[in-house]
Amino acid sequence: MSGASQEPFDLLVHRMTWEATDVLSVDLVHPQGKPLPAWTPGAHIDLHLDGLVRQYSLCGDPADPARYRVAVLNDPASRGGSAYVHRALRPGASVTVRGPRNHFELADAGAYVFVAGGIGVTPLLTQAREAGERGRPWEFWYAGRSRASMAFGEELGQLAAADRTVTLHPKDEHGRLDLDRVLTRVPADALVYCCGPERLTSAVRAGCAALGLLDRLRVEHFAAAPADGNGADGEGAGEERAFEVECVRSGVTVTVGPDEAIVDALENVGVLVDASCRDGVCGTCEVPVLEGELDHRDMVLSDAERAAGDTVLVCVSRCRSQRLVLDL
Ligand code: FES
């Protein structure tokens, strides 16, 4: 994680640009022209939109402290945030922002393969630019419904070079992206970065698993995996059980019911934890763990972070042991 600023602050909408069918980019600046908190490729910010808090990847230039840029798809499945941006937000408006945070850092590698679906292009665009600046070769595969719906295709094309290739793959022209073709040619020293709709990220995950590439895959999720009673660890959770949470610094112990989130149980006894998406995708509610057998259900922590077991995202994750001890 990097550059996290926990306190919300207000920015001005400076410009909105129609980037592609149903995709608006939003440039945000400080009302007094002050520099904004630094960020790294893969980072996102929270936007407070009409009573909702939504996460958007930063897709501008990390070297430009004067502005943040996000891109927002007017998604019919939206729970309200993107519809508000498209219908009501306009230049000159004030927006409350929190962050930036980065759970999708570009790790060091000899080469990269980027696989984007639709608006999932946004974090990968900045990562591809960064990878190029690091002098690393990469391939960028960008799938979308149609050419008109694919934002930043031109910007991506400008990053292409002899050892950096960009392939735009509109479905209405070429059908579905052939992931076997993409993944079987991943260089031995490459990491695979993927962001897009659940169908794409799941297919890339399955393809990487079949080819023994899972440890080289990094995925950014838009939304939580379907609630099917299974943890993100892939283990069937069966019936939920209650457990106790002890907050050592607050001196409070609370029982978390079978249908209750840890964050809610803590709130009920006055232990407040920052939470944003409450869906296990943004990382805001990560807290330090001192003891307990964790059942991670978020889409944020890496396998290594899960194995270390020293933090938990309390909006979705649970505890398999009777007692979870938090450094809160
Ligand atoms: Fe977003 Fe918990 S609030 S991961």
| pLDDT, tens digit, 9 for 90 and up, residues 48-72 | 988 888 889 999 999 999 999 999 9
Give the span between the Cα atoms of 102 and 119, in whole angstroms.
18
Question: How remote is the CA of residue 276 from the centroid of ligand 1, in Å?
Answer: 5
Give residue ranges with CB within 6 A of ligand 1.
275-278, 280-285, 298, 300, 313, 315
Question: How remote is the CA of residue 225 from the centroid of ligand 1, in Å?
Answer: 13
Residue 28 and residue 39 in contact, taking contact as beta carbons nearer than 8 Å:
no
Give the span between the Cα atoms of 165 and 142, in whole angstroms.
11
Taken in order of first residue, the domains within the chain and their CATH numbers are 9-101 (2.40.30.10), 111-221 (3.40.50.80), 243-326 (3.10.20.30)
Whole-prediction pTM: 0.79
- pLDDT at 236 exceeding the cut of 50: no
Mean pLDDT: which of 76-80, 133-137, 219-223, 303-307 is highest?
133-137
pLDDT at 6: 66
Instruction: For ligand 1, atom 4, name the residue with the nearest CA.
Output: 280
Residue 201 and residue 221 in contact, taking contact as beta carbons nearer than 8 Å:
yes
Q: Say if residue 95 is exposed, middle or buried (CB neighbours under 10 Å; 0-12, 13-18, 19+).
A: middle
Q: For a pocket test of ligand 1, which of 46, 264, 284 has the largest count of ligand atoms closer than 8 A to its C-beta?
A: 284
DSSP strand pairing (94-101 vs 9-20): antiparallel
Give the span between the Cα atoms of 237 and 235, in whole angstroms.
6
Question: How remote is the CA of residue 223 from the centroid of ligand 1, in Å?
Answer: 11
Least confident residue range of 167-176, 183-192, 294-303: 294-303
Question: How remote is the CA of residue 277 from the centroid of ligand 1, in Å?
Answer: 5
Q: Give the DSSP H or E segment for 313.
A: strand 311-313
